[in-house]
Amino acid sequence: MSNIFDMEPNMSRLSFQEKLLYIQLVFALGVGVFYAHFLIHTPPGTHRVHALIIVLALLFASLRGLLRRGSGNVVEDERDRTIDAIGGSWSNFVLSIGIGSMLVMYWDHGGLRTPAHTVDLLFHLLLLSILVRIIRQLVAYRTGM
């Protein structure tokens, strides 16, 4: 019988793709918390963190690609591609609903309050779509799709 607090055997059985998803989840939640705590209350143009977030995202994506291709023991099979496609479709669904809702708000109300409010909505929508993709992929790995 497995102890719920004994995480080492469970984490060691994770595939490379699952470990990357958990790292992405922590990173995305960290960016969301940082944004909500620090950046949402500062006026535009007073911080340079947006460049840091973009550079870190590009660095992480590049590192993920290099690790996938450079590691000889990483095997990506049809199941991994299917799970990746499932996560992508859920993410696209969230983005479509969000952008459609923003368009309806614009058409029905003649605008979206302020440009800063629009940027906040877009940021949160993007973050939500990333989190939905990651969580859906993790669920697919854990349940066998």
The domain limits of the chain are: 14-41+49-143
Flag whether the pTM goes above 0.95: no
Size of the chain in residues = 145
Q: Does residue 145 sit in helix, strand or coil? A: coil
Phi-psi region of 45 (alpha: psi -120 to 50; beta: other; left: phi over 0): left
Longest CA–CA separation in the chain, Å: 60
User: Per-residue confidence of the chain (145 residues) as pLDDT tens digits?
Assistant: 444 444 444 556 777 788 888 888 888 888 788 777 776 666 666 666 666 667 777 777 777 677 666 555 556 678 888 888 899 899 999 999 999 988 888 888 777 777 777 877 888 888 899 899 999 999 998 887 6
Reported as half-sphere exposure (CB side, CA atoms, 13 A), residue 133 has a value of 21
Between CA 35 and CA 41 the distance in angstroms is: 9
